[in-house]
Amino acid sequence: MNSSPSSTLSTTANRDLLDQSALSDLAQRLVEAARRAGADAADAVAVRGVSQGVEVRDGRVEESERSEGDDVGLRVLVGQRQAVVSTNDVSGDAVTKLAERAVAMARVAPDDKFVGLADPALLARDFPDLDLLDPAVPTTAELERRALAAEAAALGVKGVTKSGGASASAGIGGMVLVTSTGFHGSYLRSSQGISATAISGDGTSMERDYDFTSAPHGADLLSPEVVGRSAGERTVARYNPRKVETCKVPVVFDPRVAGSLVGHLVGAINGASIARKTSFLKDKLGQQLFAKNIRIIDDPLRKRGLRSQTFDAEGVAVKRTALVDDGVLTTWLLDCATARELGLTTTGHAHRGVSSSPSPGPYNLHLEPGTPTPAELIADIKQGFYVTDLIGSGVNGVTGDYSRGASGFWIENGEITYPVSEVTIAGHLFEIFKSMQPANNLEFRYGVNAPTVRIEGLTLGGR
């Protein structure tokens, strides 16, 4: 076992890992084979994934694992018919056979007038360096050290009775996309993470909470000690929760859960939902949904972003977009097919795996901060609820009805007081969006980031 904290990408093994030329060549051969087999158009995606992780509990390593592999997917179009096939075996004449099978499948597929590759005029031509690859790869010994340090910090918090485990991980993932219209793009990104879970109390009165950190670069991670201590402190704060009566009060969302509100918006403006008319926002494009100070940004070009990339899964150029600007809904999230169905142009939001056709999705999302501090945001609340954890997925994207299990803390006279559990918060997303007030404490820690957020008049279902 290598005891040094990290190894650089200059080693032969790591250079091979970062060399995507073989994947690029494979994707190109797949596209050419598809055209020879009779496809009118085709694209191929090759995905590389390498990951290692260590899990510890009670000061001992419970599991250490490593996985790596390359997978390829081929999409072919014959007229207005489409088929997608994938494999991780490209030995011998597998490329030719895969292409022939894909074309045969497309010929018997139903017509779909919206399928097709991206307009060549929309394809990405500039590929800025987003600094997504950390040159220092943590060794297994370093991952073990991080996990053990996080667990020790959690156990060092007074009131923590046992460990729920801790983990540390690292990986590199990449994609190559080649199309028959001449696009050829690739990217690689690293990922590292540390997490810890702590338990307080015992028997039926146990409480559990966690914290984690993740980033493409190890230097951007919170330290293991900070992660573990935060997990322990969160757990102890939850101990001995109370029940509350059913009431209608202001609800304040901790940054860890506030991003879920942004996620509900983005799910509702996904082009697939709009095209199927299954979104409660289907008629709201260009309308004022939020207060005028609200901006929600999707930024695929953020340096060192968790979901950053320079082109989408159809090769289309991506850009920073204000999904909500001055409270107004400005756009749908579209790939080429949903854009054609809606009579619009793709917004460069196509995502795909090797075995699926493209579909729309977001990149790095955030709600821009407001001006009040979190303390100022709750200062005038006589009775309210501060949410730190959400349970279940009781949000209806068709109607906009919102109902989720929650736990957190009671707010009394502008102060966070005792812990509360086993409640439900309910309302409607229109009203939630309309009353949203962000604090000034935005941090970029997740794929979806938001500051502390206050919502007026939600129903709290208690005892």
Instruction: Record the tokens describing residue 426, joined without a space.
Output: 């309910």
302: alpha, beta or left? (left if phi > 0; alpha if psi -120 to 50):
beta
Q: Quick one: pLDDT band at residue 320, thresholds 50, 70, 90?
A: very high
Cα 334 to Cα 341: distance, rounded to the nearest angstrom: 10
Please give the pLDDT value at position 8.
57
Q: Any idea which of 7-16, 245-254, 447-456 has the lowest mean pLDDT?
A: 7-16
Q: Describe the crossing of helices 21-36 and 94-107 by its angle, rounded to 10 degrees.
A: 50
| Beta-carbon-side half-sphere exposure of residue 66 (alpha carbons within 13 Å) | 6
Q: What does the radius of gyration of the chain's CA atoms come to, in whole angstroms?
A: 24
This prediction has a pTM of 0.93
- Average pLDDT of the segment spanning 311-334: 97
What is the structure's pLDDT at 4? 43
Backbone angles phi, psi at 255, to 5 degrees: -55, -30
Q: Under the phi-then-psi rule, with left for phi > 0, alpha for psi from -120 to 50, and beta for the rest, what region is 131?
A: left
Q: What is the pLDDT, as a whole number, of residue 89?
A: 79
Q: Determine the average pLDDT of the residues in 169-181.
A: 94
Give the residue from 68, 23, 27, 64 showing the smallest Cα distance to 49.
Answer: 68
Category of 54 on φ-ψ map: left (φ > 0), alpha (ψ -120 to 50) or beta: beta
In tens, the pLDDT along 76-98 reads 999 999 999 998 877 778 889 99
Helix H or strand E segment including 449: strand 448-449
* pLDDT of the residue at 14: 59
Amino acid at 425: I
Helices (H), 79-157: 94-107, 140-155
Query: In this model, does residue 2 exceed pLDDT 50?
Result: no
Indicate if the pLDDT at residue 9 is higher than 90: no
Query: Please, are residues 211 and 230 in contact by the beta-carbon 8 Å criterion?
Result: yes
pLDDT in tens, 195-208: 999 999 887 789 99
Structure tokens given for 207: 């409480």
Question: What pLDDT, on the 0 to 100 scale, is given for residue 80?
Answer: 95
234-250 in b/e burial notation, b at 16+ Cβ within 10 A?
bbbbbbebeebeeeebb
Confidence of residue 457 (pLDDT cuts 50, 70, 90): confident
Q: Where are the alpha helices (DSSP H) in 238-332?
A: 255-268, 271-276
Question: What tens digit of pLDDT does each residue of 401-412 get?
Answer: 999 999 999 999
8-state DSSP, 126: -
